[in-house]
Structure 1
Amino acid sequence: MNNIPNISFKSKEGFTDIEFIPLDEIMTRVEKNPDHDPQKPHRISFFALLMVTDGSGIHQIDLKNYEIKKGSVLKIAKGQVHAFQKNFQYRGYLVVFTEDFVLKYFSKSSIDFISHLYNYHISEPLVKNSTFNHFFLEQVTKELKSEETYAQKEIVAKILELYLLRLERYAHKEPLKKLNRKHQTLFIKFKDLVKKNYTKTRNVKDYADLLHISSKHLNQIVRAVTLNTAKHFIDQYVVLEIKRIIFSSRSSLKEVAYQNGFDEVTNFTKFFKRNTGLSPKEFKSTVQG
Structure 2
Amino acid sequence: MKQPISLFANYSPKFLVSDFNILKVEDFFNDVGKDTLNKNQKVDFYTIFLVTEDIGRHTIDYKDYYYSKGTVLAIRKDQFQRFHINKNVKGYLLFFNEEFLNRFLNDEEVSSTLQMFNELLASPKTQLEKKEFEKALKIIKEIEDENSRLSDSYSLKIIRSSLHILITLIHRVKTKGINKVQLTNYLKEFIKFQNLLEKEFNNSKKVNFYSEKLGFSSKKLNSIVNYVANKSAKSFIDDVIIIKAKKDLLHSSLSVKEIAYKLGFKDPTNFFKYFKKNTSFTPESYKKRYKK
- What range describes the TM-score normalised by the shorter chain of this pair? 0.5 to 0.7
1:24, distance to aligned residue in structure 2 (A)? 1.6
Q: Partner letter of residue 28 of structure 1? A: N
Q: Secondary structure at the match of 2:36?
A: coil
Q: Deviations over 1:220-261 (max 9, x none)?
A: 64243455589999xxxxxxxxxxxxxxxxxxxxxxxxxxxx
Q: Which amino acid aligns with 2:22?
A: F
Alignment of 1:184-263 (within 5 A): 193=193, 202=200, 204-208=202-206, 210=208, 221-225=239-243, 227=246
- Kept after mapping to 2: 8 A contact 1:193/1:207: no
Q: Which residue of 1 aligns with 2:256?
A: none
1:245 aligns to what? Answer: none
Q: Which residue of 1 aligns with 2:13?
A: 13
CA shift, 1:106, in A, is 3.0
Equivalence for 1:23: 25
The DSSP-based 3-state class of the residue aligned with 1:95 is: strand
Whether the 8 Å CA contact 2:98–2:110 is kept in 1: the answer is: no
Distance 2:197 2:66 in 1: 39
Distance between the aligned counterparts of 1:192 and 1:231, measured in 2? 25
Structure 1 CA distance for aligned equivalents of residues 144 and 66 of structure 2:
27
CA RMSD after TM alignment:
3.9
Q: Deviations over 1:132-162 (max 9, x none)?
A: 2211122213323457423111110111011
User: Distance in 2 between the 1:19 and 1:81 partners?
Assistant: 19
Q: How far apart in 2 are the matches of 1:174 and 1:75? A: 19
Pick closer, same or farther for the CA change 1:10–1:98 going to 2, 3 Å: farther
What letter is aligned with 1:208? K
Contact 2:116 2:122 in 1 (8 A): no
Q: Which runs of 5+ in 2 are unaligned?
A: 180-188, 211-234, 249-259, 264-292
1:136 partner SS: helix
1:85 to 2:84 alignment: yes
Structure 1 CA distance, aligned partners of 2:196 and 2:83?
Answer: 37
Cα distance in 2, alignment partners of residues 174 and 231 from structure 1? 43
| 1:96 matched residue in structure 2 | 95
TM-score (norm 1): 0.60
**Cα distance in structure 2, aligned partners of 1:141 and 1:149:** 15
Q: Which of these residues, 153, 156, 165, is aligned with residue 153 of structure 1?
A: 156
CA distance, structure 1, for counterparts of residue 113 and residue 105 of structure 2: 10
SS in structure 1 opposite 2:203?
helix
CA distance in 2, matches of 1:162, 1:231: 43
Counterpart pick for 2:168 among 165, 168, 174: 165
Cα pair 2:48 2:75 within 8 Å, conserved: yes
Matched residue, 2:225: none
CA contact (8 A) 2:111 2:191 kept: no
Question: Contact conserved, 2:22 with 2:147, CA < 8 A, in 1?
Answer: no
* 1:45–1:20 Cα change, 3 Å: same
Question: Following superposition of structure 1 onto structure 2, how do residues 31-46 of structure 1 map, counting pairs within 5 Å?
Answer: 31=33, 37-46=36-45
* Cα distance change on mapping 1:71 and 1:152 into 2, 3 Å: same
Distance 2:117 2:152 in 1: 31
Q: Does 162-171 or 9-18 show the bigger shift?
A: 9-18
Tell me whether 9-18 or 39-48 shows the greater mean CA deviation: 9-18
1:143 paired to 2:146? yes
For 2:171 and 2:23, the matched residues in 1 are separated by 22
Q: Counterparts of 1:48 and 1:171 in 2: how far apart (Å)?
A: 16
> How far apart are residue 207 of structure 1 and its match?
4.0
Equivalent position SS for 1:149: coil
